[in-house]
Structure 1
Amino acid sequence: MITGSMVALVTPMDPEGALDWDALAKLVEFHIEQGTDAIVAVGTSGESATLNVSEHHEVIRRVVRQVNGRIPVIAGTGANCTREAIDLTTNAKGAGADACLLVTPYYNKPTQEGLYQHYKAIAEAVDIPQILYNVPGRTACDMLPETVIRLSTVKNIIGIKEATGNLERARQILEGVASDFLVLSGDDASAYQLMLMGGKGNISVTANVAPKQMAQLCRLAMAGEADQAKALNDQLMPVHNAMFIESNPIPVKWALHEMGYINTGIRLPLTPLGVQNRATLQAALRQCGLLA
């Protein structure tokens, strides 16, 4: 079972936007050394929207090769075209990914029945564990708890990344699915609370810059250590907030640049963090001991 702190890994780039393979390999090693439990390659934070298909496949292949079985690799393979999602998922399986993360179809706004049929078709087409991903703030598509519960019985669908931060919604899902169905947070600020309710982990932006702390937070919350988990989350809250001072992954990529792990590259239409926000981000990193 894939549980714990799962980093939504950024895709390093040079200032012109070319993929930086050396930096990617170093980031993977950094996360394994720091105790990250799983790596999500080419999710939202990995700029899946601006990577072409060959780059998408290659990032997954290289992350799988670098990890070399030490921790699970989850490949982002969602699309707003079911056939495209099947193709991406098929390639991720061929690359050796342990599971796939599939965001709800964006822009075309399917019905709940459309969502069910979309995910069911992918699960039936590709024999690999699949995790649903609901983030309506980015996709304009909201997968309701009853649809998640319905999909939880489909073979190969093993969990959901619920990124709304709505704990009542998470509770509805937890109460309606089998105990082995993975309900994962996609909202760093409230993730520990979801895990205290019975969630199995967090797919995290903050883990990019604070992997050791996020791994410890997940362990505490999943063990039911509510006071310790809250205290650690309170310490990390400045970073949680700073990661969304502009659209993700703008702040997290700039933070990793400040910390010396990656270059400044990011692809249009996203741009490097605005000058007016850099001091705020630096202060948050320093407050959490992540920047000298």
Structure 2
Amino acid sequence: MFKGSIVALITPMDDKGNICKKSLKKLIQYHIKNKTNAIVSVGTTGESATLNKNEHTNVIMNTLEFADEKIPIIAGTGSNATAESIILTKKLEKSGISGCLNVTPYYNRPTQQGLYLHFKAISESTYLPQILYNVPNRTGCDLLPQTIAQLSKLKNIIGLKDASGDLSRVSMIKQLVKNDFLLISGDDATALDFIQLGGIGVISVTANIAAEYMYKMCKLALQGDFTNARKINSRLNILHHLLFQETNPIPIKWAAKYIGLIEYNSLRLPMTTLLQENKKILKKAIQSILL
């Protein structure tokens, strides 16, 4: 369940900024139909930073309900407060989620010792599988390979989502951890190279609108057919970049609305809608690649 194309699912909202269950259900059905391997619910792309605690839990529970056990659900349970992450994780223990994605504590800028103790405390509080999530350009801290190696020894820390974009780290980390420790890309633009270096898949933003392509690309890559995987990736490459021309999830929510996967292109402040000039560029790319 923790390999291949895993979508970092957007959280659809209505025109008043409330969670749109109708669009959420449609999105999940789309991913089941197109064989996405798993869903991350309420991660960075799911706008965890602007959902309150009840909404956060409710979106995960709605995602589980709509998935109906047809696709594994990984819950975003990270926080910059260790105690808060533990509370959310324990709250979801009997929910049916397959595991948790735990981002490094943002804004606090903890030391490596602080990062180790943070994830250790969460790990010791639960039996749920834990995936570490390193995204330095958004959190202000960087989980280093040596700290990852330490954490990999804890019983239920099973892998890492690495969104650093630094491919040199893949081999470095692989040398420091056991063979069954999962390395998952968190950067669509470098995901194929990440897999070729020993990763087992990608937690993808692009998969929100190109689920079938991302599934096929990852499947081929994991089978060792990098020639055909690269053909698909070359087709998607402009999308990988355009979906980050403004802060994620601004472009991907506009794109999902444009192709009819969600009803409204709604975000909560301080996130704002895609600039008009960027809409034109992304629209052109979507028309040539997906429509």
Residue of structure 2 equivalent to 1:47: 47
> Which stretch has the larger CA shift, 89-98 or 244-253?
89-98
The count of residues paired between Structure 1 and Structure 2 equals 290
4+ aligned runs moved over 4 Å, structure 1: none
Equivalent position amino acid for 1:98 in 2: S
Equivalent position amino acid for 2:218 in 1: C
1:158 counterpart SS class: strand
Shift of 1:93: 2.1
> Which stretch has the larger CA shift, 122-131 or 279-288?
279-288
2:101 counterpart SS class: strand
1:1-292 mapped onto 2 (5 Å cutoff): 1-262=1-262, 263-288=264-289, 290-291=290-291
Shift of 1:178: 1.1
Tell me, in whole angstroms, the C-alpha distance in 1 between the residues paired with 2:217 and 2:190: 11
Identity %: 50
> Which stretch has the larger CA shift, 160-169 or 62-71?
62-71
Native 8 Å contact 1:5 1:218 kept in 2: yes
Native 8 Å contact 1:92 1:100 kept in 2: no
Tell me, in whole angstroms, the C-alpha distance in 2 between the residues paired with 1:194 and 1:213: 17
Equivalent position amino acid for 2:47 in 1: E
Native 8 Å contact 1:238 1:287 kept in 2: no
Shift of 1:287: 2.1
Equivalent position amino acid for 2:98 in 1: D
Query: Cα deviations across residues 98-123 of structure 1 (Å, max 9, x unaligned)?
Result: 10000000000000011011001000
Tell me, in whole angstroms, the C-alpha distance in 2 between the residues paired with 1:214 and 1:35: 10
Tell me, in whole angstroms, the C-alpha distance in 2 between the residues paired with 1:252 and 1:258: 10
TM-score (norm 1): 0.97
Equivalent position amino acid for 1:274 in 2: L
Shift of 1:204: 0.1
Shift of 1:95: 2.1
Equivalent position amino acid for 2:142 in 1: D
Equivalent position amino acid for 1:51 in 2: L
Equivalent position amino acid for 2:113 in 1: E
Tell me, in whole angstroms, the C-alpha distance in 2 between the residues paired with 1:192 and 1:174: 17
1:184 counterpart SS class: strand
Equivalent position amino acid for 1:118 in 2: H
Tell me, in whole angstroms, the C-alpha distance in 2 between the residues paired with 1:47 and 1:19: 11
1:105 counterpart SS class: coil
Tell me, in whole angstroms, the C-alpha distance in 2 between the residues paired with 1:69 and 1:179: 28
Tell me, in whole angstroms, the C-alpha distance in 2 between the residues paired with 1:196 and 1:224: 8
Unaligned runs of 5+ in 2: none
Unaligned runs of 5+ in 1: none
Shift of 1:170: 1.6
Query: Cα deviations across residues 165-211 of structure 1 (Å, max 9, x unaligned)?
Result: 11101211122111111100000011011111211110000000000
Equivalent position amino acid for 1:40 in 2: V
1:46 counterpart SS class: coil
Shift of 1:216: 0.6
> Which stretch has the larger CA shift, 182-191 or 61-70?
61-70
Pairwise CA RMSD of aligned residues? 0.9
Native 8 Å contact 2:123 2:157 kept in 1: yes
Query: Cα deviations across residues 197-244 of structure 1 (Å, max 9, x unaligned)?
Result: 211110000000000000011111111112112121111011101110
Shift of 1:13: 0.4
Native 8 Å contact 1:82 1:118 kept in 2: yes
Tell me, in whole angstroms, the C-alpha distance in 2 between the residues paired with 1:10 and 1:93: 23
1:173 counterpart SS class: helix
TM-score (norm 2): 0.98
Native 8 Å contact 1:77 1:92 kept in 2: no
Equivalent position amino acid for 1:117 in 2: L
Query: Cα deviations across residues 42-85 of structure 1 (Å, max 9, x unaligned)?
Result: 00000000000000000000111111221210000000000000
Tell me, in whole angstroms, the C-alpha distance in 2 between the residues paired with 1:91 and 1:170: 33
Shift of 1:19: 0.7
1:5 counterpart SS class: strand
